[in-house]
Amino acid sequence: MPEEQKKVQETTPFYNLPLTEVYEKVGSTDQGLSVNQAQERLSEYGRNELSSGKKKSLLVKFAEQFKDLMIIILIVAAILSVVTSGGHDISDALIIMAVVVINAIFGVYQEGKAEAAIEALKDMSSPAARVKRDGHVLEIDSKDLVPGDVVLLEAGDVVPADMRLIESASLKIEEAALTGESVPVEKDARIEISADSGIGDRLNMAYQNANVTYGRGTGIVIATGMYTEVGKIAKMIESADETETPLKRNLNRLSRVLTWAILGIALVTFFVHIFRLDTITQEGVLEGLMTSVALAVAAIPEGLPAIVTIVLAIGTQVLAKRNSIVRKLPAVETLGSTEIIASDKTGTLTMNKMTVEKVLTNGKVVDRTEKLADGDMTLRVMNFANDTKISQEGDFIGDPTETALVKFGQDQGFQISSELTANPRVAELPFDSDRKLMSTIHKLADGRYFVAVKGAPDQLLKRVTKKLVNDEVSLLTAEDRNAILADNHAMAHEALRVLMMAYKYIDTIPEELTSEDLENDLIFAGLVGMIDPERPEAAEAVRVAKEAGIRPIMITGDHQDTAEAIAKRLGIISADDSEGHVLTGAQLNEMTDDEFQKQVGNYSVYARVSPEHKVRIVKAWQNEEKVVAMTGDGVNDAPALKQADIGIGMGITGTEVSKGASDMVLADDNFATIIVAVEEGRKVFANIQKTIQYLLSANTAEVLTIFIATLAGWDVMLPVQLLWINLVTDTFPAIALGVEPNEPGVMKEKPRGKKASFFSGGVLSSTIYQGITQAFLTLGVYGLALAYPAHPGNYTMIHQDALTMSFATLGLIQLFHAFNVKSLHQSIFKVGVFKSKTFNLSILVSFILLAAVIMVPGLNDIFHVSHLDFYQWGMVLAASVSVVIIVEIVKFIQRKMIKN
């Protein structure tokens, strides 16, 4: 497409121009294009469809998964494990490579998320459109539309492209997926719109993929394909930054630290071993190399990625049972670190269903739960002046506002079907956006006619001359008018959408049915206030979120008053808040990025916002180093969902676009479910943290034991023994720790935030001192075995017994230490020593595997260990149990220090 044409589509504010200029800009008239013109433009502008961008091949996507540092370390560990076994034992290598390949496959699967979102946008497009060409109305494939085409719209159509309206007759378009506004928008082709108006306020425009719910209209296409508002959203989805999850960030940081630490220790150990040799021989060098390699393998927590994956997978299963479908495994943990939940209002915090909230009738205001009197006139009018249909299945079909009125009538016991049978509609004046009224005429049994009128209070009040109070009709005074206006204002201030009901009786139907003849000298019946109400459990969920240190933010395309009222009812902002903590999209446009960054903490509610605003808000909070979760259900939410640290789509009302851009989908569209997911996310992080603490303290003990023994000239453990301990103790107990139940009070703690790591909260210091403790207890047992041998005078037996006892101690001490790690600060007796069956079974299996190599004949020869007597086993068990006593004492001191 020529650059000049691109510029016109991208930058021209068509909603702000008179129609003559619109025609000039797009090179057309109200009669549309000729067939030849349309063909020429199709070759210039391209088809009216969304592009998916350049796709990577499957092979490239797969290869990119191996760039991760932890993955590289695991591959090296697999190679080293084969080397240390002389090529005879490849089981470790196979397990490690299986983990690597599974992770890569999962990563490739997740790569397609953005592509799926774009494809979903494509699928939403209207398949056909009715256009004027060469003076005839044709039905064509909507993909063949071009700027300048004149398109006809009517109820039931999907808008096929962005267009400026030329004509509108009672036209209503539902734009919730694009703007977030919960009710259809009344369009007006003749209205003047200011240049700074947001999408939701451009009443003379119709946007691609919106649904026509009422009336008809004609529009001229001003943008197609990637230049429509939906196309701009597709571009934002493609270009949105792929945010690194806290889990990935922590694992990468851990990988870097471990890599350099392991390489350093292995090299030092190798050179110390060489230095100790009296004569440097090939056998001595190979022995030193084998010890260093075994030490490196032992130091690498090769089971960690597998365990993390298992813990996350179990977390996804738990969440699935609680209505949260996780599309991306790390999202489970990310939830636990969430500090900001930026939620869309419609459908998430509210029901996305217009509901009658209050009714002013017979001179008093009643709540929706109160029973109206039989034959209440306000109830009668709202049901008669209504086009809602009820299907055989009992579903309401029609405009959301009108269906809310009929639903309210049904709840009140008003039988609309039987009433209309007794008093059939014989004539009507349909709703018109100019007069903002709707009237129906019903024939009564006595031969008279009943006129029911429903409409905007400011318009209908002009036509009312009487009032009905306490079932008596009297003249409407100036004071009465002021009182009605005051009641209308009070309802509107509570963000209620207010409609007025009026009626009268006539003897004959006018020959020419006009508003002037019919809609006058009316009797005021009442006011009806409606709202898309908040979900019953949402307020409690907001309270729990705040208690957990999470800040809820409401971002909506709805009006400022509505957003503020719902936010106050939910507790997002206080009921007496008068500080102006609501920011509109227009006000946000006036701020520079720097200005907004300084003030982002002042606002908890954003109203009348566009997709660009949502992304900007999310980025601003991310710039504050906050972990941001974003919820949404519409096309307009997709870019922000992808930009957020965790995007949460809606399973029921959500579009496929928003689901495709999300990391997690709520099966019940409920904000309260997010809080449940946050709790599970916190548990997942805590369990991963416990696993890391356990693995690294154990690995620290192994490294220190070998390193100090090498410095002292002791052969405290053989490579094969070290690898067996590593395999047995790093597997089952670590997995069991990963599925531990939640500790009490997890939702009363503050979020960890982006800067927190797996070593936060005292984990690093605990890992170090616990690793040192295990190492010195092991070395202590080895030293005692040499000093007080069971077979004095037999050096070979003394050395083998000492080797066996240090092997058994280092293995058992890690199993006993697993009990310590069940809680970082709490006593294991409070947490529950044998509470978890999974944990108990894992310790038992590991103990059997460890003891078997010592006690089973044949296996002890393979592992170069001897049988131990009762006294030796007692020494091993005493040292192993002592790690629990030492850690319990340290925890007790820590708890006392925290209290003081």
Active site residues per annotation: 344
CB atoms within 10 A of CB 254: 19
In angstroms, the CA 222 to CA 19 distance is 12
Query: For the stretch 329-359, what's the b/e string if a residue is b when 16 or more beta carbons lie within 10 angstroms of its beta carbon?
Result: bbbbbbbbbbbbbbbbbbbbbbbbebbbbbb
CA torsion sign, 598 to 601 to 607 to 611? positive
Q: Which of 840, 818, 814, 821 is nearest to 724 (CA)?
A: 814
**SS3 assignment, position 389:** strand
3-state percent helix, strand, coil for the chain, nearest multiple of 5: 55, 15, 30
What stretch of H or E contains 478? helix 478-493
- Could you give the C-alpha distances from 673 to 318, 461, 544, in angstroms and in order? 12, 44, 12
End-to-end CA distance of the chain: 72
Q: What is the DSSP letter of 349?
A: I
Strands (E) across 391-496 are located at: 396-397, 425-432, 437-443, 449-455, 464-469, 472-475
Q: Give the C-alpha separation, 368 to 531, whole Å.
A: 11
Q: At what angle do helices 229-239 and 113-124 cross, to 10 degrees?
A: 170
Task: Bin 225: left if φ > 0, else alpha if -120 < ψ < 50, else beta.
Answer: left
Tokens of 624: 């504050």
Torsions phi, psi for 407 (to 5 deg):
-60, -40
Q: Answer yes or no: are the C-beta atoms of 170 and 433 closer than 8 Å.
A: yes
Buried b (16+ CB within 10 A) or exposed e, 164-200: bbbebbbbbbbbbbbbbbbbbbbbbbeeebeeebbbb
* 8 A C-beta contact, residue 663 and residue 327: yes
Number of residues written out for the chain: 900
The one-letter code for the residue type at 571 is G
CA distances from 238 to 21, 50, 657 (A): 33, 12, 12
Cα separation, 42 vs 533, in Å, equals 46
Interatomic CA distance for residues 749 and 747, integer angstroms: 6
